[in-house]
Each structure stands twice: as structure tokens, then as C-alpha cells.
């Protein structure tokens, strides 16, 4: 992990400082500095220790609700004890500097909202919500901690975590709002994502084809090589505060 901030290209700071619409897509890397494990990092990623098909699919939940539920309870405990880091805080600050800023996150940890971001599209749902597995539509509050999978008040079936599992579609409102933000933005930031899971991974190319400057912030190379015009190789908790401060100063000098 690099702790130094790479040079910030002047053209990027200028584009961000002059932009009316900016979108950002974040992934697990943004929460890594809060102690929340990523998915695909070789040593520390969740998918190095667990098999997605045994824990993050509807079929897995159907065959063993208790195991899947307890894995999500473990992740809820971990995230509840974590705090937003400098990267989350910088993105919340950027929202206050840009007239129309949309934050699309693949993260289900809620740390962007806890950092103060307001316009957040939770593309893959949220760990702390639940819904009926059978889809009866009933909303049931679940007090925590909740060690056993709870029952739905409406139909008596299982309640499941309110996240998107492998093989499931992104809820239409989140998908449409994210695509609109990508199509309309002048600058698109892709931060801390390996860009391997679609449709989220396709948003950067959508933005690029629509004319946005696509900027990647990630200490490691990803599949966004074709879409990103600017790559800032560094940790989001280091790069984002420096970038947002440069934008704040540049915006101030424009007024």
C-alpha cells in the first residue's frame, strides 16, 4: 500500500473545479482504511477466505439460512465498530463543493452516509436493512443483535439481508439513477473498485463514451485501463483529501 499522494494533474483539478455535474463510483477499497475487508485482495479479501456461492447467493440462503445469516451478522458487527475514514469524509466534502454530485457505491456498509454524504445510490443495497426472502413486500424491523435468521411478519417466511446477491438484478431505481449520473457527469471518479462486477463496472465506460473525464483512484491496476484518462495510484484515504482540498482552493479562486 502506498501512503504517498501521486501528483494531481492540473487539468483534473481544473475540470473538477469547473464541473457542474460529477459522479463517483466507489468500491470496497474506500472502506479498507476503516478496517472493512475488501472482496478480491489476495490476502485480506473476503473471497480469499469464503466462497461467494456459499454465502452470497439466494440458493445458499435457501439451503442454509442460518449460516448465511450469521455471516452477515458478523459483517454487521464489523462495520458497526468501524468508522468512516478520510476518503469517505473527502467525498462528503466534495458533494458540498459540486452543484450536482452523485455518489454511487457498491459498498453495503453505510459508511458514506455516516461520513455525511447525502446523495448516495447504494447500488448493492445495505447490510443493515432486511427484506422478505419470499418477496411478500412486508417491511419488518429487526433489532440487533439477531443471531438467528428472523421470520417475516407478513408471511412467516425468512427475512434476508437487504443486499444484492450474485445472480440478482440491481433494483431498477438504483440502476437507472446510476446510469443517468454516469451519462450526465463531466467527471467520473472510480475509487477503490476492481471493476470486475457488472453492471457497476460498466458505468465508467458509459461515462467515458458520453464525454466525461474518467479518473481512477486505486493503489493497484484494474480493468478500467481503457476508460480512465487519469489514474491516481494511491490509497483513497490519502488521494481523495488532497484532491478535494485542491478543488476547494481552485473553486475559491474562481469566485
Residue whose grid cell is 439477531? 146
# binding residues, ligand OAD (CB under 6 A):
26
Q: Does residue 131 touch ligand OAD according to CB under 6 A?
A: no
As measured in angstroms, the least distance from the Cβ of 34 to ligand OAD is 9
Q: Does residue 130 touch ligand OAD according to CB under 6 A?
A: no
What is the number of helices (H) and of strands (E) in the chain? 11, 8
As measured in angstroms, the least distance from the Cβ of 102 to ligand OAD is 17
Residues 186 and 83: their CA atoms lie apart, in Å, by: 30
As measured in angstroms, the least distance from the Cβ of 91 to ligand OAD is 12
Q: Does residue 181 touch ligand OAD according to CB under 6 A?
A: no
Q: Which of 242, 229, 180 shows the shortest CA–CA distance to 206?
A: 180
As measured in angstroms, the least distance from the Cβ of 151 to ligand OAD is 24
Binding to ligand OAD in span 45-104, by CB under 6 A: 45, 56
Residues 236 and 79: their CA atoms lie apart, in Å, by: 18
Candidate list 34, 106, 117, 130; residue touching ligand OAD; CB under 6 A: 106
| DSSP characters over 111-137 | HHHHHT--SEEETTEEEEEEEETT---
Q: Does residue 193 touch ligand OAD according to CB under 6 A?
A: yes
First to last CA, the chain: 37
**Stretch of residues binding ligand OAD (CB under 6 A), selected from 22-30, 67-75, 91-99, 225-233:** 22-30
Bridge partners of residue 231, in order along the sequence:
216
Q: Which of 142, 138, 131, 188 shows the shortest CA–CA distance to 164?
A: 131
**Stretch of residues binding ligand OAD (CB under 6 A), selected from 96-104, 141-149, 207-215, 231-239:** 231-239
Binding to ligand OAD in span 26-55, by CB under 6 A: 27-29, 32-33, 38-41, 45
User: Among the residues of the chain, which ranges form H helices?
Assistant: 10-18, 29-32, 46-49, 52-55, 58-63, 65-81, 86-97, 111-115, 172-184, 203-209, 236-254
Q: Does residue 105 touch ligand OAD according to CB under 6 A?
A: no
Q: Does residue 220 touch ligand OAD according to CB under 6 A?
A: yes
Q: Does residue 110 touch ligand OAD according to CB under 6 A?
A: no
* 51, 217 contact by CB (below 8 A): no
Residues 137 and 161: their CA atoms lie apart, in Å, by: 14
Q: What are the distances in angstroms from CA 49 to CA 100, 211, 212? A: 39, 40, 37
Q: Does residue 124 touch ligand OAD according to CB under 6 A?
A: yes
Q: Does 3 participate in catalysis according to the annotation?
A: no
User: By Cβ distance, which residue is nearest to ligand OAD?
Assistant: 29
Active site residues: 124
- Binding interface with ligand OAD (CB under 6 A): 27-29, 32-33, 38-41, 45, 56, 106, 124, 164, 192-194, 196-197, 218-220, 222, 235-237
Amino acid at each position: 500500500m502506498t501512503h504517498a499522494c501521486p501528483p494531481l494533474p492540473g487539468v483534473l483539478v481544473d475540470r473538477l473545479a469547473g464541473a457542474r455535474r460529477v459522479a463517483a463510483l466507489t468500491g470496497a477499497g474506500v472502506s479498507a482504511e476503516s478496517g472493512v475487508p475488501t472482496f478480491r485482495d489476495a490476502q485480506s479479501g473476503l473471497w480469499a477466505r469464503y466462497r461467494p456461492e456459499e454465502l452470497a447467493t439466494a440458493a445458499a440462503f435457501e439451503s442454509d439460512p442460518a449460516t448465511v445469516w450469521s455471516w452477515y451478522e458478523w459483517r454487521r458487527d464489523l462495520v458497526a465498530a468501524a468508522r468512516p475514514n478520510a476518503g469517505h469524509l473527502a467525498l462528503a466534502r466534495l458533494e458540498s463543493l459540486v452543484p450536482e454530485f452523485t455518489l454511487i457505491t457498491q459498498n453495503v456498509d453505510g459508511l458514506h452516509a455516516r461520513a455525511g454524504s447525502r446523495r448516495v445510490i447504494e447500488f448493492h443495497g445495505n447490510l443493515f436493512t432486511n427484506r422478505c426472502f419470499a418477496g411478500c413486500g412486508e417491511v419488518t424491523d429487526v433489532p440487533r443483535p439477531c443471531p438467528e435468521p428472523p421470520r417475516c411478519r407478513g408471511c412467516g417466511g425468512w427475512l434476508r439481508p437487504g443486499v444484492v446477491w450474485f445472480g440478482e438484478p440491481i433494483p431498477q431505481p438504483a440502476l437507472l439513477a446510476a446510469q443517468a449520473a454516469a451519462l450526465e457527469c463531466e467527471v467520473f471518479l472510480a475509487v477503490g473498485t476492481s471493476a470486475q462486477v457488472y453492471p457497476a463496472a460498466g458505468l465508467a465506460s458509459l461515462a467515458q463514451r458520453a464525454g466525461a473525464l474518467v479518473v481512477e483512484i486505486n493503489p493497484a491496476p484494474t480493468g478500467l485501463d481503457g476508460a480512465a484518462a487519469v489514474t491516481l495510484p494511491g490509497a483513497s484515504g490519502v488521494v481523495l483529501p488532497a484532491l478535494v482540498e485542491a478543488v476547494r482552493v481552485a473553486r475559491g479562486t474562481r469566485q
